[in-house]
Amino acid sequence: MIINKIHTLLRIHKALKGVSFDRKTLMDFQHLKLLDILQYANRHIPFYRDRFRENNIDIPVDMHADDVEQILRQIPVLQRDQLIGLPINDIISTECAFKGLLSEKTSGSSGKRLFVYTTKKDFLWKNTIRMRSLLLSGYKPYWKRLDCGTYYGRTNNPAGNFMMLRKRVIHATQDICDAVSTIEDFKPHCLTGFPRYLQQVGRQLRKKNRKIKLLITLGEMLDAASREDLEQMFNCPVRNHYGAVELGRLAFEDYTTSEMYLNEDNYYFELNESNELLVTAFNLHAMPLIRYNLRDVVELEEPDDKYPFRRIRSILGRSDDFIVSRSGLMISPYSLGAIISTCSGVKQYQVIQMMRGKIVINIVRNGELDTNSLTESLNNQKLNIDYSVNITDRIKRDPSGKYKAIINKIA
Which residues have C-beta within 8 Å of that of residue 225, sequence separation ≥ 6?
338, 341, 342
109 or 118: which carries more pLDDT confidence? 118
Confidence (pTM):
0.85
Q: What is the CA radius of gyration of the chain?
A: 22
Residue 175 lies in a domain: no
Residue 63 lies in a domain: no
Task: Report how many domains make up the chain.
Answer: 1
Gap between the Cα atoms of 18 and 263, Å rounded: 9
Asked if residue 298 has pLDDT above 60, the reply is yes
> What confidence score (pLDDT) does residue 109 get?
60
Residue 350 lies in a domain: yes
Asked if residue 237 has pLDDT above 90, the reply is yes
For residue range 166-211, list pLDDT tens digits in order: 888 888 777 888 888 888 889 999 999 998 889 888 888 765 656 8
Instruction: Output the CA torsion 92→37→22→295 (10° steps).
Output: -60
Q: Which domain holds residue 372?
A: 322-408
Nearest alpha-carbon partner for 131 in 143, 122, 139: 139
Please report which residue ranges of 344-406 form alpha helices under DSSP H. Answer: 371-380
> How many residues make up the chain in this entry?
411
Gap between the Cα atoms of 395 and 347, Å rounded: 10
Residue 71 lies in a domain: no
Please report which residue ranges of 159-223 form alpha helices under DSSP H. Answer: 176-186, 195-205
> What confidence score (pLDDT) does residue 154 get?
44
> What confidence score (pLDDT) does residue 179 get?
85
- The per-residue pLDDT of the chain, averaged, comes to 85
Asked if residue 158 has pLDDT above 90, the reply is no
Residue 34 lies in a domain: no
> What confidence score (pLDDT) does residue 207 get?
59
In this structure, are residues 105 and 113 in contact, taking their beta carbons and an 8 Å threshold?
yes
Residue 129 lies in a domain: no
Top mean pLDDT of 12-21, 34-43, 116-125 is at 34-43
Q: Identify the band that residue 5 occupies on the pLDDT scale cut at 50, 70 and 90.
A: low
Residue 392 lies in a domain: yes
Residue 395 lies in a domain: yes
> What confidence score (pLDDT) does residue 250 get?
97
In this structure, are residues 149 and 243 in contact, taking their beta carbons and an 8 Å threshold?
no
Which residues have C-beta within 8 Å of that of residue 277, sequence separation ≥ 6?
269, 270, 271, 293, 294, 296, 297, 298
Asked if residue 152 has pLDDT above 70, the reply is no
Q: What is the CATH number of the domain that holds 342?
A: 3.30.300.30
> What confidence score (pLDDT) does residue 339 get?
81
